[in-house]
Amino acid sequence: MSNPIETIKGTIVEYDETGKMMIQAQYDNVDMYIKRGYHDVEITLIDSRPLSDKQRKMCWALLGEIAEWQGQDRATTKTERTLDFAINELEQNGDKLLSLSKSPMSIVAAFQRYLISFVIRNDIPTKLPLYEYVDDINDYVYQCLINKKCAVCGRPAELHHVDRVGMGQDREEIAHEGMEAMSLCRIHHTEAHSLPDKEFFVKYHFDGGIQLDKTLCKIYKLKVQKP
């Protein structure tokens, strides 16, 4: 029985400054082409960057931590997590399992972010500080803010303003949207205030804080910019 949905690969042969793209693809089933009256197409752009051993190892390490927390083998955990990732993150039917050796870099990077978020949401203990497992440090800091977890140690956190709120300003009255912040527990919040920002960021491998958007301001009950 023929597949009701066919996927073919093509090559970009021309692209201009107006955004028009010409794609060349080979399709050999002439009878099917005529029978189905193909006219419109959907194109999947495949990330061609090579996947690094570090990225694969990060994902396997995170899967190992989740498997230990769940009390099951890593292969079962990988099957469960990749199916959930495919269905809920990629909005696919999950009939093809993610391969950490063959999938495009962008997919594996998204899977890594998914695993990090899963670990944060479920308070899963890790052998190393969680920031040591991440490739996209800024997304990690954002996930910590969303879940009110310390970006350093994972404990319950409070908001740390990297952009200092000036003396005499009422925190409840000023608009916090656009300010740079991160979530830190009381211990690391105190440490952050005792060190220069650059020294604190270097110590814990952060690029800096994250600009507060409307979602984060709503979570922390902060005022946003007026339209």
Pairing state of beta strands 158-161 and 10-15? unpaired
Question: Residue 55 has what pLDDT?
Answer: 87
Question: Residue 167 has what pLDDT?
Answer: 44
Strand-pairing partners, residue 161, are 181
Question: Residue 86 has what pLDDT?
Answer: 85
Q: What share of the chain is helix, strand, coil (3-state, %, to 5)?
A: 40, 10, 50
Give this prediction's pTM.
0.77
Please state, in angstroms and rounded to a whole number, the distance separating the CA atoms of residues 178 and 198: 20
List average pLDDT for each run of 10 residues in the chain, which is 227 residues long: 73 92 90 88 81 88 96 94 86 67 85 94 94 92 96 95 63 77 96 94 94 93 80
Question: Residue 145 has what pLDDT?
Answer: 96
Please state, in angstroms and rounded to a whole number, the distance separating the CA atoms of residues 35 and 136: 47
- How is residue 61 written in tokens? 């390490």
Please state, in angstroms and rounded to a whole number, the distance separating the CA atoms of residues 86 and 210: 28
3-class SS of residue 24: strand
Domain ranges in the chain?
136-219
